[in-house]
A and B are shown apart, each in its own frame.
Chain A
Amino acid sequence: MAILGLPEEEYFSYGHRACAGCGAALAVRLITKAAGRNSIIVEPTGCIEVVSTPYPETAWKLPWVHGAFENAASIASGVTSALKHLGKEDVNVIVIAGDGATYDIGFGHLSGAFERGHNFTYICYDNEAYMNTGIQRSGATPYAASTTTTPSGKESIGKQEWKKDLVHILAAHGSRYVATASIGYQIDAYKKIKRAIETKGPTFVNLLATCPTGWRTDISKSIEIAKLAVDTGVFPLYEIVDGRHIVNRPKSIEELKPVEEYLRMQGRYRHLFRPERNEEAINFIQQRVKENLRSLLEHVEKGL
């Protein structure tokens, strides 16, 4: 099935075992369309690896390698160096990794590879938890989300910490292109991935991908929810190009939709509304979301 306006070729084929409504599977289709045929994919352990490569079958029509959970960036370093040695530097090397692999266990490898400046693109399909092992919290899990290791309860709001700001951490490595994207805005995501691949050196895209199983959302609403994440400012779309911010969406505090619209649609935030409404928590999230967008817009204003 073609996504309107995007290349029709599919490199991630049907027959994989992803759940209905899986945002990550859609993310992979977008990424591989942007990457094209002349690409090598490196994948750490996680949902996408598990659902797409049950030996002796595979859903991949691109060369693909998986080693372990934590080391995709280092494997990619080896691939880029080998390609350099072979004089095949025209091949795109792309890591497609979950948030756990990226924000947490693979963070040292990721930082090392960015500091060394290998020519590769790292795309995190961010479903905001360790989904493959049963919805445990990661450094990318948002505040107040209930996961199996941060369950909400009488004494618990769910996850107590805010999401790690990995995008800026990677920008601070001197990467020439880092961006956020959402499967809710596919053309935007496609263009960003393409730009990341075309930019020399290490580049990064944090691609928000709905997980109906982990977020406890309606499988038919994955796109809608991924759009709302952006439009409420919970997950704003922006780029940092050569160190300068560009905010794509939302463009102002005024146009923000209330975070509640986004939170309400997801079982992982149900405890904020039932049995009774947790006004304090909802307000807290709303305030921080605004502050965050304000800070991004300030960067743009100041040309930072």
Chain B
Amino acid sequence: MEGKTIMEASHAVSEAVKSVKPGVVAAYPITPQTHIVERISEFIANGEMDCEYIRVESEFGAISACLGASATGVRTYTSTAAQGLALMHEVLFIASGMRLPIGMTVANRALSAPINIWNDHQDSISARDCGWIQFYAETAQECYDLTIMQFRISEDKRVLLPSMVCLDGFTLTHLYEPVYILPQRKVDEFLPEYKPYHSILDPEQPLTLGPIGFPSHYMELRYSQVKALDDSINIIKEVFDEFSDSFPPEIENSRPERYYHVEDYKLDDAEIAFVAMGSVCGTIKVMVDRLRKKGERVGLLKLITYRPFPKNAIIDSLRGVKKVAVLEKAISPGGNGPVFDEIRSLFYDEMERPEIRDFIIGLGGRDVTFMHIKKIYDMVKNDKGEGLEWIF
């Protein structure tokens, strides 16, 4: 497959995974991730991928097998959602602590209870502090592109950290959209054959991986890991730039003109800005256009990179905006929406601080419609409502 086509976003991810040529895939099925791994299984069954696929007995097994494979020095991939990601939780920290550049796709889904297979961001947001790079995609094209880029970024020897590309369950995973699939030769140029820069298990050079770190050393090791994640902000930008230069958009509106940590949509003269991640940005963009037609000065800040948190990019984009509405599909119970908290704290040190408000939307697959967005806009514009609002 190559060139322009129409396909499910899940299959766009599978196409990208095929083209990055992982040596080992280990995954366990969970709705709404299944289409991704089923298509990968077909590729392998048809001889289109030279890859060991481990049909593990659980997600805990999946991420652990990825740990073992990555530590042995091959490119490694997995995909999951919700309960699966929660089950992996312990090993997510271990993979980043061991600096293993595993690539993962998260098909965002709500967490139980009550059990719910539909979309929100609570699963990957709850994995925020696991030391992984996190990207959020709005479109099928972004899913495809980010999946290819995530390996370049994770495997960069200045980074060596695992990464997640997150896409909304059903609203994006099961959505058919136009996608441009790169020729394999181009992907190979962009992402050469895997050469591990991290320590690997090799009888020729026996190393001890995953030792015990006593209080005398633990903090330094944590520091170097966290610093690598902080510093990856620049390397992500480099890779985004190279990708954008090499592969300009082939399909209109399928992705940003140039990839960056954030995408500004009509923010230049905006007085009110929405902030959001993922597929809901599509709905918001249309609403922004409608409001602008009526003369409203409104725009959208879409976060693509969420970890590392793109502090400067956010401040630059929101500079001059008077009011900000953060729309998020996750909450820290007993606190606020996590994205809201972080964005508001960014502005503490700024001379000019916009008014920033938090709106919890679309939990457990609740539709987010134009009506909802309009309601939020009106509340913000007219100073109606409390600090933290649930938009049911």
Contact = CB atoms under 8 A, between A and B. Distances in A.
B68 A86 contact: no
Contact of B60 (A65, A71, A84): A71
A77 B68 contact: yes
Contacts of A82: 23-24, 52, 68-70, 72-74, 76
Interface string B303-347: 000000000000000000000000000000000000000000000
B50 to A, nearest CB: 8
A75 B71 CA distance: 9
A71 B203 contact: no
A81 B212 contact: no
Contact of A112 (B50, B58, B67, B212): B58
7 contacts: A40-B203, A49-B212, A68-B64, A78-B69, A82-B73, A86-B23, A86-B74
A82 to B, nearest CB: 4
A68 B91 contact: yes
Interface string B82-117: 000000001100100010000000000000000000
Nearest to A49: B212
A219 interface: no
Contacts of A108: 57-58, 60-61
A76 B61 CA distance: 10
Contacts of A77: 26, 54, 56, 61, 64-65, 68
Contacts of A62: 203, 206
Given A39-B203, A54-B211, A77-B26, 7 more contacts: A55-B211, A55-B212, A71-B91, A74-B68, A77-B64, A82-B70, A116-B55
B239 interface: no
Contacts of A71: 60-61, 64, 67, 91
A112 B56 contact: yes
A61 B205 CA distance: 9
A79 B94 CA distance: 16
Nearest to A60: B208
B69 A112 contact: no
B202 A74 contact: no
A50 B24 CA distance: 29
A157 interface: no
Interface string A260-279: 00000000000000000000
A75 B203 contact: no
A40 B201 contact: yes
Interface residues of A, number: 42
Interface in A26-53: 37-40, 42, 49-50, 53
A65 B206 CA distance: 10
A75 B57 contact: no
Nearest to B25: A81
A108 B94 CA distance: 20
Contacts of B51: 85
A60 B217 contact: no
B373 interface: no
B351 interface: no
A117 to B, nearest CB: 11
A191 interface: no
Given A40-B201, A53-B212, A55-B211, A78 B91 contact: no
Q: Identify which of A79, A84, A91 gathers the most chain B CB atoms within 10 Å of its CB.
A: A79
Interface in A53-95: 53-56, 58, 60-68, 70-71, 74-79, 81-86, 91
Contact of A84 (B52, B201, B203): B52
Contact of B57 (A40, A50, A115): A115
B98 to A, nearest CB: 8
B214 to A, nearest CB: 6
B36 interface: no
A50 B208 CA distance: 12
A199 interface: no
Interface of A: 37-40, 42, 49-50, 53-56, 58, 60-68, 70-71, 74-79, 81-86, 91, 108-109, 111-112, 115-116
A37 B68 contact: no
Contacts of B206: 60-64
A74 B64 contact: yes
B210 interface: yes
Contacts of A115: 57
Contacts of A55: 211-214, 217, 221
A67 B61 CA distance: 12
B209 interface: yes
Given A55-B214, A77-B68, A63 B58 contact: no
Contacts of B74: 82, 85-86
Contacts of B64: 67-68, 71, 74-75, 77-78, 109
B140 interface: no
Contact of A74 (B56, B98, B208, B213): B56
A63 B207 contact: yes
A67 B91 contact: yes
Given A78-B67, A86-B72, A63 B201 contact: yes
Nearest to B55: A116
B281 interface: no
B66 interface: yes
Contacts of A67: 64, 67-68, 91, 94, 98, 210
A63 B203 contact: yes
A201 B84 CA distance: 28
Nearest to A86: B74
B321 to A, nearest CB: 45
B223 to A, nearest CB: 14
B208 A58 contact: yes
A58 B209 CA distance: 10
A37 B206 CA distance: 9
Contacts of A86: 23, 72-74
A81 B210 contact: no
A116 B52 contact: no
B364 to A, nearest CB: 28
B60 to A, nearest CB: 6
A50 B56 CA distance: 28
Contacts of B208: 53, 58, 60, 64
Contacts of A109: 57-58, 60-61, 64
Contacts of A65: 68, 71, 201, 209-210
Nearest to A81: B52
B57 A38 contact: no
